[in-house]
């Protein structure tokens, strides 16, 4: 099976992101560390909008335990971008998202990566099963 993680058609959920002036570095493109904030934004937007996560008072929340990114082509302010999200792996208490950053209108990603959440009890920081409503939402964007 070919890796198509850099193709827009591989993603079922998208979030619009507007680059900011401060995202650019001295070289005139979005700095590598900023992509991780884009990853965090699309994953949490999905959990809030599709999974019903209440980020302020939910008993169970997601902690980031791993992430990576491969950079394919630069983006720069004032580019408008889309962050595509899918689920690569779904465990009992963890999920690995596949995330890609596309310039709006582009079919091939400028960056691709993964972002892993482990769901924990907010009070104890102990891992717990992914809540049913969130699991249901995650299953809908599971990569085939």
CATH 3.90.1640.10 fits 8-140, yes or no: no
Q: Are 108 and 6 in contact (CB under 8 A)?
A: yes
Measured CA to CA, the distance from residue 4 to residue 15 in angstroms comes to: 19
Per-residue pLDDT of the chain (144 residues; tens, 9 = 90+): 357 889 999 999 999 999 999 999 999 999 999 999 999 999 999 999 999 999 999 999 999 999 999 999 999 999 999 999 999 999 999 999 999 999 999 999 999 999 999 999 999 999 999 999 999 999 999 997
Locate the domains of the chain by residue range.
8-140
């Amino acid at each position: 099976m070919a890796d198509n993680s850099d193709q827009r058609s591989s993603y079922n959920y998208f979030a619009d992101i507007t680059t900011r002036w401060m995202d650019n570095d001295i070289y005139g493109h979005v700095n590598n560390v900023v992509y991780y904030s884009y990853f965090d934004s699309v994953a949490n937007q999905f959990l809030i909008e599709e999974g019903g996560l209440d980020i302020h008072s939910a008993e169970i929340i997601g902690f980031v335990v791993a992430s990576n990114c491969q950079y394919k082509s630069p983006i720069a302010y004032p580019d408008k971008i889309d962050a595509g999200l899918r689920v690569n792996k779904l465990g009992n208490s963890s999920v690995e998202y596949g995330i890609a950053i596309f310039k709006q209108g582009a079919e091939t990603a400028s960056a691709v990566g993964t972002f892993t959440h482990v769901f924990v009890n907010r009070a104890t920081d102990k891992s717990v099963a992914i809540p049913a409503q969130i699991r249901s939402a995650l299953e809908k964007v599971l990569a085939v």
